[in-house]
Structure 1
Amino acid sequence: MPRWGATQVSAIAHSDVRTWVSQLSAGTAKTNRRDHPRTRAQGAKPKSATVVIRAHGVLASVLDIAVKDRRIPHNPARGVDNLPRKGRKAHRYLSHQEIERLAVASGNHSTVVYLAAYTGLRWGELTALRVRDVDALRRRLAVNENAVRVGAEIHVGTPKTHELRSVPYPEFLELPIAQLCEGKPRDAILFGDGLDYLPRPRASGKSRSWFTTALDVAGLERMTVHDLRHTAASLAISSGANVKAVQRMLGHAPAAMTLDVYADLFDDDLDTVSASLNAARNRAVERAVRVGR
């Protein structure tokens, strides 16, 4: 909005978008003169790769609509080759024993920890679960909604990939989930009092969240609730789940994304492939030798 809010879509050139992306990354982005002075001053600080990519994505999406409305012949924001690359943060994976310590230290929030670590649900998906989403016979959770806090309000919509899915949960969670459902109507929120959504525990700030406190009590390094999603992927892969199953559990749009995000978890599989190929070759050679005799 600061740069393009007062600009006609037909006046936006590809070179302008490219320059804007570079300026955002360098912290020298200029704004339109009609914008508020306070807004213009915000262009001094270099933006992170995530912010730049998101800002460009918003502009490109707006211009995609302009193309469909035939206001412009093509999208000048597409094909920009100077977008910054996001550095990938190393994932933090917990073991079964560490999850147990964390869950015990979490007290009343133990079921939240268990579900996040063994289903891979995003926080918004987890806290948006309702009693009606629990299929106790099949031990499945229907992921139909996603609750996201924007400012002081909770906005409820579809899951991130806009696709509904069914996620299994381990047998040991049958009783804790049944206890969460007890006494609540079908439309009630599964966690908490059934009316209000659980707030995401803050990773920093003056007041310590229950999650930060639980990490300290359990003797674990600092991490976020979202890291439990990575743990779920790790445990599923180590248990022998194939990529397609993990993709469906996590709600990734393509399986390629699962492979890309968790490539480090599949390194051990390369050794398995090599050993399997060697064993298969030896069996084939031995069989051929026996037949030849």
Structure 2
Amino acid sequence: MATIEPYQNTAGRTLYSVRYRSADRRQRRKRGFKTKRDAERYLISVESAKDRGEWVDPGKSRVNVGEWAEHWYDAQIQLKPTTRSGYRHALDKHVLPRWSTTKLQDVGHADVQKWVNELSTRLGPSATRQTHLVLAGILKFAVRDGRLVRNPCDDIRLPRITQKERGYLTHEQVASLAAASEPYADVIQLLAYTGLRWGEMAGLKVARVDLQRRRLDIAEAVTEPRGAVTWGTPKTHERRSVPFPEFLSTALEERVRGKRPDDLVFVGTDGGVLRNSNFRSRYFAKALKTAMAEDADFPKVTPHDLRHTAASLAVSAGANVKAVQRMLGHKSAAMTLDVYADLFDDDLDAVADALNKGAVSKM
């Protein structure tokens, strides 16, 4: 049974303490109330929280965000290395400098919103959202562990991400960029005509190239979180078979000739993994500059943007949404449509034309 008891502090002043049984059936005591009414209000709030199933052990919510963040980070075993590295960067660079010494119970919704507002003046919309996501994950973990009643990161107003215009290359532009990228012209062509992610291409092994069927078995990928080469599964964790056009057969045959099944198809100048950062600085940047100088309409692209070109060229060749989804390794056709809705505008025109013909034939 809950009780309210007066006591005297060292200065001889009468204060009040509350004894109650918590939701976990343990005896608790809260001291320091200046008036009996304050103690009664606290007791009412405790009983009300217990009735609603929202009671939180005050001791558990007094943990600092910095300490709890490490428990949360250690628990993220499901993340791919690149994502995990990104979370670590956001933690060390932005989250911990602001929240490390703040107790979980002292993180307020308004304080989080103020922090996000400040972040948005220094970071882009995407980076701001990613950083907020990390703090939200830490506090969600605290809610699930019974340390907080609710997540103060919920319903925070975040900056909008504006979709930049994609640079889709034409067949001629792909050829131009490839020619300027020697000795890695075939890397440019493979990315632009298969839609492989960089890590999937860099991690491609000889045994996974079927020259007869013109298929690539995409079952693993390599990433470089913080410069460390790490092997794992493709982004969606799903294995897939990707076709490649016949004109690439000769280049791939040369790449695999004399190699063992477990050897890499594409390698860097040191014979190891072909690293994205090295490729961009040593070959791609110069090739892009040359291509743009020769063609005023040549868009400024990155190696990853060649994946968008692959989608564009596939759609223009008549591929449907499901085929593009499977080629790119998206989780669903809906995701493909969300990402590349602009590529299917002609389909909408065809629908309107078909409806018009049907209507006219009935008139």
| Residue of structure 2 equivalent to 1:241 | 319
After superposition, the Cα gap between the structure-2 partners of 1:195 and 1:106, relative to the gap in structure 1 and judged at 3 Å, is closer
The worse-fitting range, judged by mean Cα deviation, of 94-103 and 61-70 is 61-70
Alignment partner, residue 23 of structure 2: none
Matching of residue 212 in structure 1 with residue 285 in structure 2: yes
Map 1:1-293 → 2, pairs under 5 A: 1-26=96-121, 46-80=122-156, 82-192=157-267, 196-201=272-277, 209-218=282-291, 219-220=294-295, 221=298, 222-283=300-361, 285=362
Instruction: Report which of the two structures shows the higher radius of gyration computed on alpha carbons.
Output: 2
Higher relative contact order, structure no. (Cα contacts within 8 Å, ≥ 6 residues apart): 1
Deviation at 1:90, TM superposition (A): 0.7
Q: Which amino acid aligns with 1:66?
A: A
User: Mean Cα displacement is larger for which, 261-270 or 194-203?
Assistant: 194-203
What RMSD, in angstroms, separates the aligned Cα atoms of the two structures?
A: 2.4
1:11-46 Cα distance to aligned partner (Å, 9 max, x none): 4333332222112113xxxxxxxxxxxxxxxxxxx2
Q: Secondary structure at the match of 1:132?
A: helix
Further displaced range: 187-196 or 120-129: 187-196
Q: Which moved more, 1:258-267 or 1:88-97?
A: 258-267
Alpha-carbon distance, 1:115 to partner: 0.8
**Cα distance in 2, alignment partners of residues 257 and 97 from structure 1:** 28
Amino acid at match of 2:286: T
2:310, 2:244 → 1: CA distance?
11
For residue 49 of structure 1, report the CA deviation from its aligned partner. Answer: 1.0
TM superposition score normalised by structure 2: 0.65
Change (3 A) 1:183 1:91: same
1:60-89 alpha-carbon deviations (Å, 9 max, x no partner): 223333334343344332332x11112211
5+ residue gaps, structure 2: 1-95
TM-score by length of 1: 0.80
How much does 1:195 deviate? 5.1
User: Which amino acid in 2 is paired with 1:62?
Assistant: I
Q: Whole-Å Cα distance in 2 between the matches of residues 281 and 192 of structure 1?
A: 58
Aligned length: 262
**How big is the shift at 1:129?**
1.3
1:210 is matched by which residue type in structure 2? Y
Q: Deviations over 1:127-159 (max 9, x none)?
A: 111122223333222222232223332222222
Amino acid of the residue matched to residue 229 of structure 1? Answer: R
* Runs of 5+ unmatched residues, structure 1: 27-45, 287-293
Superposition misfits of 4+ residues, deviation over 6 angstroms = none
What residue identity is the alignment partner of 1:278? N
Q: Return the alpha-carbon distance in structure 1 between the equivalents of residues 221 and 107 of structure 2.
A: 35
**1:229 Cα shift?**
1.0
Question: 2:313 corresponds to which letter in structure 1?
Answer: L
